[in-house]
Chains A and B, each alone.
Chain A
Amino acid sequence: MSVLEFTDLRKRFGGVDALRGVSLRIGEGEVIGLMGDNGAGKSTLMKILCGAVRPDSGTITMDGAPLHMRSPRDAAAAGIAVVYQDLALVDQRDVATNVFLGQEPTRHFVVDRRRMRREARQILEDLSIRIPSVRLPVGGLSGGQRQCIAIARAVHQGGRVVLLDEPTAALGPEQQANVLRLITRLRDRGTSVVVVSHNVDHVLAVADRVVVMRAGQIQGIRDVHATSATDVVGLILGDAASEAVSHMTEAATSASAVNPLEPSRSA
């Protein structure tokens, strides 16, 4: 049963084809590792899925029903939550406030802080996120803890499909492990996760399927159990190596051409 499905998504920016027909089905509780070189179209795809960018053509369906998103607000309402690194938390506020940011429980206009702290603790415990106190300002927490709090909020605020953009970048190994464990816990709860990452090891550790993009298209989809890091890296680079070689031979055989590896004479 697929939760989120998109078919033939296309997007042009000026003269650049950022997406050239991308289709995928994401199942319930499935973790997708989205990989690809810079400029492969990952960010554009993520921006379309979270409602920040509208595709030129193509359809998105959630639970089989077509989804038309005009803004990130629509995406959030549909159950698609995106976690941006460092754009999610208010450093000066405590953990509980950040988990409930923008959706604090109120009673007669007054924020019910006791309930908020209690429920925040419950949410963190359900996801086995270790934070000494929900009263601490998040600015004093580690990068891994902050990432986990941001993810907890996305899940708590109704995210059934959570998009994570480089969740392990700029974290220490221990914190990376914490974040990766949180992702597997989300999967166990039936939440679908799309992880954009450059780290093959991390993707292979948590993902069910690896989707590799290249030049605005899906280059290949691999089941993690039936692939290897070398295979995935090969997909990411594509025929880059062989292309480069053929380009060089082409250049060498063409009499007028300048060798791309040599500095230009006119420069």
Chain B
Amino acid sequence: MAVTTMTDDVAVRDVGSSPWRRLLRVHEFGVLVATAVIFLYCALFVNHFLTSENLLSVAQQIAFIGIIGTGMTLLIVAGEIDLSVGSQYGFLSVVMAYTLTEWHLPILVASGLVLVLGALIGLVFGVVTTFFKVPSFVVTLAGLGILRGFALLVTGGVPMQGSTSLRYHSITGGNAIGSLAAQTVWMAVVMLAFGWILSRTKFGFDIYATGGNMKAALNAGIRAVRVKIICFCITGALCGLAGILLVGWLGSANPLTGNGFELSVIAAVVVGGASLAGGVGSITGTLCGALVAGLIANALVLLGVDGNWQQVATGALILAAVLINRFIATRQPSMR
């Protein structure tokens, strides 16, 4: 067994390489560059772009994508997906308005109810997915139809009046400081909290392990099934939060709220570097993904481009981001 191996000469380099090289290696690299490039381009060539009013309005526009995208990020990292977030968002908005106007519940009680209901919807999806081994793609596709149907049934298909409470409105839809929208603050709180949970805590590490290799996670004693179910519950609860914010902001709930919204959310997560195969992704990436989409839409409006081009631009963006991520992934240092 007198074999000298090449690996014996390898120096230990745990301290990590230079910040630049480390940056090149992160999965969010593509979206970070895209965000920077688009931002610079807009700042230089698009009139009225670089005003605080405009930038804050972009931040407001991506708030709901950011909040629900946070839950979606956890789910996608855990190796699952929820196609029903748009319907959940719509259904829970309607429930919020209904409990306020028909049951006359206090706003806080109604909000609690909506959050719990959202988590319960997630629980059902999670249990069906993990115990009956039905792919979450299918389970939540069914949920997409069912929940949209319920939203329309509850309201009779027409928008429903919510609350007229001024305090509720100012907390959910007013301005926090100057023209910084309350929704932006809510998004920031949600993303900071779950960003920290995902990247720093034991539970976050368990999510990555579960999505990366479920069998390895189970062998290592991680309760992977429970991890997945909790991620579904968090996503449901965040859809509820988005619904609460929307009803407070608009004062009413439309049963068609969030129609097709799941695509924007999944786009933000995927553009942000997450892998649909699981185990890869981050809240920072999702924020950038949402930001890129928001910036492009904003720039196109400011440039007076036909609104239909927005769809084209968003689609092209998803493709470009995924290709860049693929390129980065193949260049990962192997150091054998």
Contacts and interface: CB of A to CB of B under 8 A. Distances in A.
Interface of A: 72-73, 76, 82, 84, 87-93, 97, 101-104, 106, 109-111, 117, 121, 130-137, 139-142, 145, 153, 173-174, 177-178, 180-181, 205
A113 to B, nearest CB: 8
Contact of A76 (B5, B221, B332): B221
A13 B10 CA distance: 49
A111 B216 contact: no
A117 B334 CA distance: 19
Contacts of B204: 111
Nearest to B332: A140
Interface stretch (B154-162, B163-171, B207-215): B207-215
B219 A91 contact: no
A133 B3 contact: no
B209 A205 contact: no
A14 to B, nearest CB: 24
Given A103-B220, A130-B8, A145-B7, A111 B205 contact: yes
Contact of A92 (B6, B200, B202, B280): B280
Given A87-B219, A111-B202, A133 B212 contact: no
Contacts of B12: 121, 132-133
Contacts of B336: 140-142, 145
Contact of A110 (B200, B215, B220, B280): B200
B279 A102 contact: no
A133 B208 contact: no
Contacts of B221: 73, 76, 102-103
Contact of B201 (A73, A93, A110, A117): A110
Interface of B is mostly: loop
A137 B1 CA distance: 29
B217 interface: yes
Contact of B209 (A90, A136, A178): A90
A101 B200 contact: no
Given A136-B333, A140-B333, A102 B209 contact: yes
B3 A177 contact: yes
B14 interface: yes
B1 A133 contact: no
Interface residues of B, number: 37
B108 interface: no
Given A90-B213, A92-B275, 17 more contacts: A76-B221, A88-B216, A89-B216, A90-B209, A91-B213, A93-B208, A97-B208, A97-B209, A102-B222, A104-B205, A110-B200, A111-B204, A132-B10, A132-B12, A132-B335, A140-B334, A140-B335
B334 A93 contact: no
A111 B279 contact: no
23 contacts: A76-B221, A82-B219, A87-B213, A88-B219, A88-B220, A89-B213, A90-B216, A91-B279, A97-B209, A101-B209, A106-B202, A111-B201, A117-B14, A130-B8, A131-B10, A132-B10, A132-B11, A132-B335, A133-B12, A133-B14, A141-B334, A177-B1, A178-B5
Interface of B: 1, 3, 5-8, 10-14, 16, 200-202, 204-206, 208-209, 212-213, 215-217, 219-222, 275, 279-280, 332-336
Contacts of B334: 140-141
Contacts of A84: 219
A39 B43 CA distance: 70
Contacts of A173: 3
Contacts of A89: 213, 216
B13 A133 contact: yes
Contacts of B1: 177, 180-181, 205
The 9 A-B pairs with the shortest beta carbon distances in the complex, nearest first, are A102-B220, A90-B212, A92-B279, A101-B220, A177-B3, A140-B334, A130-B7, A90-B213, A102-B221
Given A104-B202, A140-B332, A177 B208 contact: no
A50 B276 CA distance: 33
Contacts of B217: 90, 101-102
A91 B212 contact: yes
A205 B201 CA distance: 43
Contacts of B335: 132-133, 136, 140-141
A190 to B, nearest CB: 21
Contacts of A145: 7, 336
A101 B202 contact: no
Contact of B215 (A87, A109, A111, A130): A87
A137 B216 contact: no
A201 B323 CA distance: 46
Q: Which of B16, B208, B209 has the most A CB atoms < 10 Å from its CB?
A: B209
A116 to B, nearest CB: 10
Interface centre among A102, A121, A135, A181 (most CB of B within 10 A): A102
A174 to B, nearest CB: 5
Contacts of B206: 102
Contacts of B216: 87-90, 101
Contacts of A137: 332
A110 to B, nearest CB: 5
Contacts of B11: 132
B219 A93 contact: no
